[in-house]
Amino acid sequence: MGYKVVVAGATGNVGREMLNILAEREFPVDEIAALASRKSLGTEVSFGDKTLKTKDLDTFDFTGWDIALFAVGSEATKIYAPKAAAAGCVVIDNSSLYRYDPAVPLIVPEVNADAIMGYKNKNIIANPNCSTAQMVVALKPLHDRAKIKRVVVSTYQSVSGAGKAGIDELWDQTKGLYVPGQEVAPKKFTKQIAFNVIPHIDVFLDDGSTKEEWKMVAETKKILDPSIKVTATCVRVPVFVGHSESINIEFEEFLDEHEARDILREAPGVLVVDKREPGGYITPIECVGDYATYVSRIRQDSTIDNGISLWCVSDNLRKGAALNAVQIAEVLGNRVLKKG
Ligand SMILES: NC(=O)c1ccc[n+]([C@@H]2O[C@H](COP(=O)([O-])OP(=O)(O)OC[C@H]3O[C@@H](n4cnc5c(N)ncnc54)[C@H](OP(=O)(O)O)[C@@H]3O)[C@@H](O)[C@H]2O)c1
């Protein structure tokens, strides 16, 4: 016997990947429902070799369903996640709505799978921000060895992190630049994203940082260790899929770059590609469709006593969202619900 699984947001970037990954990983599904907004009613989405027709989230009855993977954004989550949870269905949510709620576990299975039992508080589990998910996968094994004091991270985030509308804007704007009269003005992004980079993701906060940067700080503390200091600069780049990060780490203890590389080679979820030669590193295009968090350019930072710098790349729709959510469902299944 397997699970009755709901995917809410099934027509979106993350929802479609959730369906792909559930099928790829042969998650034990007895029945599956693909939900979206009313305007998408009947839209066809793929689940392995099957085609599903989307149903309306607004009228869906969650009674009797085991797990709901949500990827509908915070506003819709606020309305529908509590309904699903109250009906006895465990919600694994991709929005930021519940991430900072102390009663809701925020989980990256390679890092803090043991937090899973906290699901009982609200019947809800939160999935982290895409940039945080890949970063903590790389940081965790290094933290276990040499205790991280401080992290300085700059991100290079793809437009798919801003949903379907982000992908469309980069595509249309890039084409429009070559066709007189078909120029596309910025709408989803604040400035032209084609052939440009934008140092602004999510809203500005009082201290001059952005909410996306704050998320990396708060979520790293909640998932990995509250004592780690993080300073982030989050930048949108004209890449369709795959977030990249330049990460500088200061440790309490000395960690040699060779040992750091060996630790990362053994770490769950990490793939090291680090040849010191042209092309001996990973770029976002090469990570698309993969599960791994790739680490390249591992090197000593000689400007501080105990420092390492590295380059970290992952598919933001997978490890940054859909894969992580399915991995959480796997932990929930194996440790708690025990069907399948
Ligand atoms: N993209 C990433 O890298 C990433 C990473 C981590 C977390 N997330 C989070 O995951 C969520 C989804 O992101 P996305 O990139 O997949 O967005 P998206 O491509 O814009 O898709 C949004 C999905 O939500 C559905 N939806 C929106 N409002 C709804 C409503 N009121 N009722 C029912 N369905 C509704 C849409 O259905 P229709 O097609 O019918 O409108 C669509 O299926 C967001 O919370 C986002 O912050 C995204």
pLDDT tens digit string along 249-280?
999 999 999 999 999 999 999 999 999 999 99
Nearest CA to ligand 1 atom 43: 9
**The pLDDT value given to residue 1:** 86
**Residue type at 307?**
G
178 is written with which tokens?
């070559």
Token couple for 5 = 């699984």
Strands (E) across the chain are located at 3-8, 29-36, 44-47, 50-53, 55-56, 67-70, 90-93, 124-126, 148-157, 229-236, 243-251, 270-272, 293-300, 307-314
- In ligand 1, the atom with minimum distance to the C-alpha of 16 is 16
- The tens place of each residue's pLDDT in the chain, 340 residues long, gives 899 999 999 999 999 999 999 999 999 999 999 999 999 999 999 999 999 999 999 999 999 999 999 999 999 999 999 999 999 999 999 999 999 999 999 999 999 999 999 999 999 999 999 999 999 999 999 999 999 999 999 999 999 999 999 999 999 999 999 998 999 999 999 999 999 999 999 999 999 999 999 999 999 999 999 999 999 999 999 999 999 999 999 999 999 999 999 999 999 999 999 999 999 999 999 999 999 999 999 999 999 999 999 999 999 999 999 999 999 999 999 999 998 7
**pLDDT for res 340:** 72
Distance CA(103)–CA(318), nearest Å, equals: 26
Q: Which residues are catalytic?
A: 130, 243
User: Who lines ligand 1 at CB under 6 A?
Assistant: 9-15, 36-37, 39-40, 57, 71-73, 76, 94-95, 130, 160-161, 163-164, 316-317, 320-321
CA of 10 from ligand 1 middle (Å) equals 8
CA–centroid distance, residue 159 to ligand 1 (Å): 14
Q: What are 102-111's pLDDT values in tens digits? A: 999 999 999 9
Atom of ligand 1 nearest to the CA of 10: 43
pTM: 0.96
> C-alpha angle 150/153/156, rounded to 5°?
170
CA of 319 to the centre of ligand 1 (A): 16
The Cα-based distances of 214 to 91, 207, 237, 260 in angstroms read 24, 10, 19, 27
Tell me the best of 17, 37, 135, 244 to mutate to test the pocket of ligand 1, counting ligand atoms within 8 Å of each CB and taking the most: 37
Q: How confident is the model at residue 48, as a pLDDT?
A: 96
